[in-house]
Amino acid sequence: MNSNLKFDDLGIVPCCARVQVMLRAAVSARVSLLNCLLLLRSAMNAFFAHFLRAVHSEYFAEFPLWCTPEGRVVGEFIKVRLESRFVAAFDEEGQPLGVVAGLHAIAPGGESIGSEALSRLTRVSETPQVLDRFIRCLHLLNYLQGEHAGSGLVLPVSALLLETVSQDHGRVFRQIVDQLDLPAQRIGFLLPASLAAQPDRLALLRNSYAHYGFASFLALAEAPATVLTRIGGDPAAACCPH
């Protein structure tokens, strides 16, 4: 391997500081690219185990979560299988923002169900907000292990969560990000399109998320779902990598 090869030349963005240290050491030792990738897979397995200990056990203990042989992270909610999907996102000028996460929910019979139908399955008062955060963490884990790591990540927030949480939006997810030693500045939230008609409410949400280091977005009306507009500039966060 080229002794002048830099860590970033591998096209790999580490999920946490410990992974970054491990890979830099491998590159410095002139380990082959294949072995670096194997090391990354091992580190991601260790990171997933860390997530289960530090986050899952504290916030989502009642929600099963596992890693498939292919390396994808899958969750479950009352026998509904939860998987992640990602599509590229752009701003109004066509500049890349990264990827928007989407949920693919599969009922026990094999049919797909929408997020609204999934939300209606929640019975306990706090379950909708916990489920929303669990799904965002599922997307975060799959993003970190997939080809999109290193670009910005936009995570949808459900209208039901915004209805059940009155203030301090972004606080819990920031705690989770900090526990995982991740850069919050690459993460943004996609808010429900209905908020476009509620500018005061939208400003309050934007300010709260920005306080915790997250960008806020809305999907543009009469545009493809992957064309987003950033709310208010969010000086504290930058979802799109520079």
Task: Write the secondary structure of the chain as one string of H (helix), E (strand) and C (coil).
Answer: CCCCCCHHHHCCCCCCHHHHHHHHHHHHCCCCHHHHHHHHHHHHHHHHHHHHHHHHHHHCCCCCEEECCCCCEEEEECCEEEEEEEEEEECCCCCEEEEEEEEEEECCCCCEECHHHHHCCCCCCCHHHHHHHHHHHHHHHHHHHCCCECECEEEECCHHHHHHCCCCCCHHHHHHHHHCCCCHHHEEEECCHHHHHCHHHHHHHHHHHHHCCCEEEEECCCCCCCEEEECCCCCCCCCCCC
What is the predicted pLDDT for the residue at 161? Answer: 82
CATH class as words, domain 75-230 = alpha beta
Low-confidence ranges of the chain (pLDDT < 50): 1-18, 37-39, 234-238, 241-242
Residues 102-129: tens digit of each pLDDT: 999 999 999 998 877 777 777 655 678 8
What is the predicted pLDDT for the residue at 159? Answer: 84
What is the predicted pLDDT for the residue at 78? Answer: 87
